Amino acid sequence: MSSTQQSSSTKKQTLFIASLIILWYSSNIGVLLLNKFLLSNYGFRFPIFLTMCHMSACAFLSYVSIVFMKLVPLQPIKSRPQFLKIATLSVVFCGSVVGGNISLRYLPVSFNQAVGATTPFFTALFAYFMTFKREAWVTYAALVPVVAGVVIASGGEPGFHWFGFIMCLSATAARAFKSVLQGILLSSEGEKLNSMNLLLYMSPIAVLVLVPAVLIMEPNVLEVILSLGKQHRYMWLLLFINSTMAYSANLSNFLVTKHTSALTLQVLGNAKGAVAVVISILLFRNPVTVVGIGGYTMTVLGVVAYGEAKRRFR
């Protein structure tokens, strides 16, 4: 291959990866902001039903992507124990998504992202207690500013709400628990699934779990949604876009990891959180304080230091 052809190939690869990152950013930030808009500003106060819409879209679009578009080979479920492991992951995943959506009813996106940035802390905690896996002391030391930053941001948050904070913290812990649990339950080479196939099997189970929860906890959802649909002509379109973005976020997450690395994804994720905070403040005009900004900055820097420590001392 000539140097000109090699340079052209490198440029195409760089452009492709850049496009994937833009898709990942826009999907993640878009679904987050739309969730906040629907749940807080639009009168659509049904976080469990919203999560069910997301999971339904993920189930349908995962099937289309794998079976018809053949983005990745279909990996069948090989045993009953493997199915039970996937079901367990699905329930935990449901809890994290529902908790996150509920928190958006009470907290601004900026503070929601600050709390969400503590995921590495919970991941390290669960990994230690469930697998007895120890990290270097430098790695644990890097988690101190992660937690301290959220404590400071909480004290400086004008829109702080205890229930919203507890739900957001629970969602963050559930997300970390799912990550550790996934590593334990699907670590066998014979049972390991890639992210897209795992989402294909988890999503329908999640929908089945969420349907009775909606009927019990949000019994008037259809009546209110039909009423809102008559008042706001674009509500159904927003709900459709929101659900499609939820799948796009999962798909782009998988593709960015595949074409870069898990560490790159973590670094990009830190930046994504900061971008989401800035955009949400501009859109929703939620008040912020110097203390709150300082706390969130400390948390992000702590996460960056944690990622660097993991890379050096693994």
Provide the residue range defining the domain that includes 92: 17-313
Instruction: Give the containing element (helix H, strand E) for 99.
Output: helix 80-103
pLDDT at residue number 55: 94
pLDDT at residue number 265: 61
Dist. CA 195–CA 183, nearest whole Å: 12
Highest average pLDDT, of 71-75, 133-137, 279-283, 301-305, comes from: 71-75
| Inside any domain, residue 279 | yes
Query: What is the average pLDDT score of the chain?
Result: 83
| Inside any domain, residue 185 | yes
For the segment 66-84, the average pLDDT, to the nearest whole number, is 89
| Inside any domain, residue 70 | yes
pLDDT at residue number 121: 83
264 pLDDT more than 70: no
- Residues 240-254 pLDDT 10s: 999 999 999 888 877
Listing DSSP states for 53-71 in one string gives HHHHHHHHHHHIIIIIS-S
| Inside any domain, residue 8 | no
CA angle (149, 152, 155) in 5-degree steps: 150
168 pLDDT more than 60: yes
Instruction: Quote the pTM value.
Output: 0.82
- Residues 9-36 pLDDT 10s: 777 888 888 888 888 889 988 998 899 8
| Inside any domain, residue 5 | no
Burial of 277 (0-12, 13-18, 19+ CB in 10 A): buried
The more confidently predicted of residues 169 and 2 is 169
| Inside any domain, residue 88 | yes
pLDDT at residue number 267: 61
Number of domains composing the chain:
1
| Inside any domain, residue 7 | no
* 3-state per-residue secondary structure call for 235-297: HHHHHHHHHHHHHHHHHHHHHHHHHCCHHHHHHHHHHHHHHHHHHHHHHHCCCCCHHHHHHHH
| Inside any domain, residue 168 | yes
